[in-house]
Chain A
Amino acid sequence: MNLTFKLSLFGVFKRFFCAGSLLFLLQALVATAQFKVDVSGVGLTQVPIAIATFKGEESAPQKTSAIVAADLERSGQFRVVSPGPAALDELSRPDMPALRQKSADALLAGSATRLADGRYEMRAKLWDVVTGQERNEFRETIAAADLRLSAHRMADWVYETLTGDKGVFATRIAYITKTSGKYSLWIADSDGENAQSALSSAEPIISPTWSPKGNQLAYVSFELRKPVIYVHELATGKRRVIANFKGSNSSPAWTPDGRSLVATLSRDGGSQLFQIEVASGEVKRLTNTTGIDTEPVLTSDGSKLYFVSDRGGSPQIYKMSATGGAVERVTFSGSYNISPALSPDGRWLTYISRVGGQFKVQVMNLSTGQVSAITDTTADERPSFAPNSKLIVYATVLQGREALMTTTLDGKIKAKLSGQSGDIREPAWGPYR
């Protein structure tokens, strides 16, 4: 059973949960099912949307309605309700009073039509159930192999129509798996499905990071028996060594113009931050301490750099101008704060804190400095923001296995990404495409 189906199943039960009953049953369901979606807290403002089974999708390779439903649920901003037994498509005249009784505010219905050349025509319509008016129409013709992408685009279209914000369902996530001694770099849809291998190696691969345009990844590979930074063009598979200096080369971060990487090099002793121009290989040192400066990340405007340093005696997050200079400490609570990531809108910082021997995702409001721990797991790693700044993907351990999770910034909606068996780690959420 795949995640998307389970999620849509879950949506049915969540109605009861939101009504304040059946919590026990819900917990039992979550425990027995393999997926994990946590909903906690009250007062969630979720748009209830009815999603009909699309006409023709039974015979199509992908179940569009289930993919759209799972996407919308995972965002935390929608609650999927059943539209009832009547068959609906984009040409139907839905029974609005009946839908209102099911407390749906919106309705999505559509069709998947196989064309003579094997492609599919995808059509959908979105209604405002409260007013009974049509809100928007969706139509595209795509290759059968792109049915899943089309469903994610449709989810983005619904999301943007109803929330006014851009959706991230058609974006991609990169991650690393380790299976019986083999390391692989994967590029998957934002729900973890449709993973394609970009690189395999007998040696570890870590720290994948997307170029601003989303066509390249920088990462650290140990294939030369030491950490070396590569840039990899996804479409062609072309790879280039960007940093192979004496010592270790790690933790690449792109500048927003895509022309340079900021990375951690030990070539001059210690672990220090350097800026490396991708085209010329020109290197400029940015920090000058006797200890560790690593895990750089740039603000969207490229002006500031956040990074981890042990200059104060324990690893903490600092910020400075992207060209170096004076630093300002950002984290003060606890003795181990690492792996910073900035939301693209510049409002949030996520990072990992060690608290009582447990490693947990934190979210800091950068304007108030207020910090929340948003997970119940104990071995969280490497959080990464979705391009709309509303979701975070992170690595953790669930029941002794490595897993990737997405969460809303308040921690209230979490979903485990489906994907490979074996250990799965080092997620990086790609930009809009």
Chain B
Amino acid sequence: MFNRFYATLALTVLLSACSSGVKLNDVPVEDKTASAVTTSAPASQAESTVAPVMTGKAGTMGVAPAGLNVVYFDYDSFTLKPEASAVLERNAAHLQANKQFKVQLEGHTDERGGREYNIALGQKRAETVRRALTLLGVSDAQLEAVSFGEEKPALNGADEAAYAKNRRVEFKY
């Protein structure tokens, strides 16, 4: 387990160092941008390999594996900690066994800093987890990395205990 995890970490670091050169989405993502007509929600696209329109119902994309489906990060850090390995491996196995499932990887930050910059930081965390899952064999089509920034803290509070629980990526099926 030790070796496998660190191999994953090393690859993750390598990949993140050259992420712009790597085509992360093998299948072009469908634009869900509405055309000139007024619409209240994006039109549903036929392309099955990309994430569909999210309706906010977590149950529509699959069933989560048992256990805690969240990994935590240090302050200002996007590096997976050793204790993340069990969560990653469990979810990777679950997604490989259920190819029809999709998971949304929700990056979050603590409340310090600007809201928009925190969206970008949370995105970085979510993409770290996405790459780790891809390296464990999960199809990228099953994964979507998104960010909530500081908008959805797991715990309210302005101390390190709360901050530590808020710097996280949640796996939402």
Contacts and interface: CB of A to CB of B under 8 A. Distances in A.
Contact of A279 (B36, B58, B120): B36
Interface residues of B, number: 49
A37 interface: no
A385 interface: no
B40 interface: yes
Given A239-B40, A354-B113, A271 B119 contact: yes
A426 to B, nearest CB: 7
A238 interface: yes
Given A204-B148, A226-B146, A290 B127 contact: no
Contacts of A266: 123, 127, 145-147
**Which size bracket describes the interface of A in this complex?**
35 or more
A294 B120 contact: yes
A247 B145 contact: yes
Interface string A237-279: 0111111111110110000000000001011111100001001
A281 B20 contact: no
A276 B114 contact: no
Contacts, number: 154
Given A204-B152, A242-B33, A279-B36, A251 B119 contact: yes
A292 interface: yes
A275 to B, nearest CB: 12
Nearest to B57: A225
Given A239-B40, A247-B146, A269-B19, A283 B119 contact: no
B10 interface: no
A225 B148 CA distance: 9
A223 B20 contact: no
B48 interface: no
A27 to B, nearest CB: 27
Contacts of B58: 225
A207 interface: yes
Interface in A204-248: 204, 206-207, 220, 222-227, 238-248
Interface in B35-71: 35-36, 38-42, 50-51, 53-56, 58
B42 A241 contact: yes
B81 interface: no
Contact of B19 (A226, A290, A338, A381): A290
Interface string B104-123: 10100000011111011101
B50 to A, nearest CB: 6
A221 to B, nearest CB: 11
Contacts of A338: 113-114, 116-117
Given A251-B119, A294-B116, A246 B127 contact: no
Contacts of B36: 279-280
Nearest to A250: B119
A339 B117 contact: yes
A204 B56 CA distance: 13
A276 to B, nearest CB: 7
A359 B113 contact: yes
Contacts of B89: none
A359 B40 CA distance: 37
A248 B116 CA distance: 11
Interface centre among B20, B51, B114, B120 (most CB of A within 10 A): B120
A308 interface: yes
Contact of A247 (B38, B41, B115, B144): B144
B54 A224 contact: yes
Most buried by B among A270, A382, A426: A270
B112 to A, nearest CB: 8
Contacts of A269: 19-20, 22, 24, 127
Contacts of A381: 114-115
B29 A245 contact: yes
A288 interface: yes
A242 B25 CA distance: 21
A171 B150 CA distance: 30
Interface in B117-143: 117, 119-121, 123-124, 127
A354 B39 CA distance: 40
Interface string A367-380: 00000000000000
Given A225-B172, A269-B24, 14 more contacts: A238-B38, A241-B39, A246-B51, A247-B145, A248-B146, A250-B116, A266-B123, A266-B146, A280-B36, A290-B16, A292-B121, A294-B120, A352-B114, A425-B115
Interface of A: 203-204, 206-207, 220, 222-227, 238-248, 250-251, 264, 266-271, 276, 279-281, 283, 288-290, 292, 294-295, 308, 315, 336, 338-339, 352, 354, 359, 381-382, 425-426
For the complex of A and B, list the 5 residue pairs with the smallest distance between their C-beta atoms, beginning with the closest: A281-B33, A204-B151, A271-B120, A226-B146, A244-B32
Interface of B: 16-20, 22, 24-25, 29, 31-36, 38-42, 50-51, 53-56, 58, 104, 106, 113-117, 119-121, 123-124, 127, 144-149, 151-152, 172
